Amino acid sequence: MSVASVTLDSNRGRDRTDARNDALFRWALRFCALLVLAALLGAALSTLWGGREVLFGDGWRFLTSAQWNPVENRYGAWAPIYGTLVTSLIAIVIAVPLSFGIALFLTEIAPAWLRAPIGTGIELLAAIPSIIYGMWGLFVFVPFMAAHVDPLLDASLGRLPWIGTLFQGPPLGLGLLTAGIVLAVMIVPFISSVMREVFQTVPVRLKESAYALGSTTWEVAWDIVLPYTRQAVIGGIFLGLGRALGETMAVTFVLGNAYGLTASLLMPGTSISSSIANEFNEAAGLHRSALIALGFLLFVVTFIVLLIARWMLRSLQRKAGKA
């Protein structure tokens, strides 16, 4: 027995355990990833199954009807879908420029000592539970909207042709616009922290070259930082949009929970998730089926929105490639 053969033997043993451990690790990882898929598929299929009575019984009428009548057991999902899309759209329109500004300020303009506290502050905002946003919305923001913003909008923008119909109505304080603004406050932390992270990855050399060529800060941000990080920025926006589409508690408090379809953003509406949260407790039979079907529709809506995001990203990349 020489020393060399002993080490060789033990090496061979190590190889074997290494290979086994590697395989185990790979299987564990695969299991983790598959668990996500299984959970997603399970949730989608069980909502589809739970809502089958309405989805297959009523078909398209369930999607296009704005009626929601528990007394006569006739249900249509259009009002909640409309409310979900409109509030999320308002939230994105407000939150994206705001988050862009925050992230840009933190990475380009803010002095170093200010970056950490503001950054932490934003992350803390993301940790506030949605019920707190809902209560703040109901007790603080709704009265403010009713007393100051709604009458002002009604008297100014509400008088204009065309877009006027968006801003007419009694000063309730509740409604699609209020819900959209509260949602915007809720998703700003998500979008801005993603943007901040990726803006930091832009090579200093690129930015300094642009500054050296005489670019303003805005030009650097718009022409260098944003194109360089576009993909991640859009990812961050859709992370926020995903949260806005599914947000329940905060929206339930300030949306007004009414099934009517109105053009005005100052009027109350309803959303998919708040309808489910409100009515599930006392719903039985077809009513329950309709609510579960709404849950399935939220999957579908979110999926379509993500598809659009992918498509937008691809067309952007193609354009960038041509340029």
Partner 1 sequence: MQILSKLAFALGLGVAGLSGSAMAADVSGAGSSFVYPVLSKWSASFAEKTGNHVNYQSIGSGGGIAQIKAGTVDFGASDKPLDAAELKEFGLGQFPVVIGGIVPVYNIEGIEPGKLVLDGDVLARIFLGKISNWNDAAIAKLNPGLKLPTGQITVVHRADGSGTTFNFTNYLSKVSPEWKAAVGEGTAVQWPTGVGGKGNEGISAYIGQIKNSIGYAEYAYALKNHIGYALLTNANGKTVKPGNASFQAAAAGADWAHAQDFNLIMTNAPGDEAWPITATTWAIMYKQPKNAANSAVVFDFFRWSLTHGQAQAQELDYVALPDALTQKIEAYWQAQFKH
d(CA 131, CA 252): 10
Three-state DSSP class for residue 159: helix
Residues 235-264 that bind partner 1 (CB under 8 A): 252-253, 256-260
> Per CB under 8 A, does 287 bind partner 1?
yes
How many of the chain's residues bind partner 1 (CB under 8 A)? 33
> Per CB under 8 A, does 183 bind partner 1?
no
Residue 135 token pair: 């209560």
Least distance from partner 1 to the Cβ atom of residue 154, Å:
12
d(CA 72, CA 48): 23
Member of 83, 119, 268, 295 binding partner 1 (CB under 8 A): 268
Residues near 193 by beta carbon (within 8 Å), at least 6 away in sequence = 103, 119, 122, 123, 126
Least distance from partner 1 to the Cβ atom of residue 145, Å:
10
> Per CB under 8 A, does 68 bind partner 1?
yes
> Per CB under 8 A, does 142 bind partner 1?
yes
> Per CB under 8 A, does 54 bind partner 1?
no
Asked whether the beta carbons of 257 and 274 are under 8 A apart, the reply is yes
Least distance from partner 1 to the Cβ atom of residue 83, Å:
12
Member of 279, 289, 298, 302 binding partner 1 (CB under 8 A): 279
Q: Please give the distance of CA 144 from its chain centroid, rounded to a whole number.
A: 25
Q: How many CB atoms lie within 10 A of CB 279?
A: 18
d(CA 186, CA 177): 14
Nearer to partner 1, 56 or 139 (CB): 139
> Per CB under 8 A, does 87 bind partner 1?
no
Member of 86, 149, 172, 239 binding partner 1 (CB under 8 A): 172
Residues near 185 by beta carbon (within 8 Å), at least 6 away in sequence = 95, 125, 133
Binding site for partner 1 (CB under 8 A): 67-72, 138-139, 142-143, 146, 170, 172-174, 252-253, 256-260, 268, 270, 274, 277-279, 281-284, 287
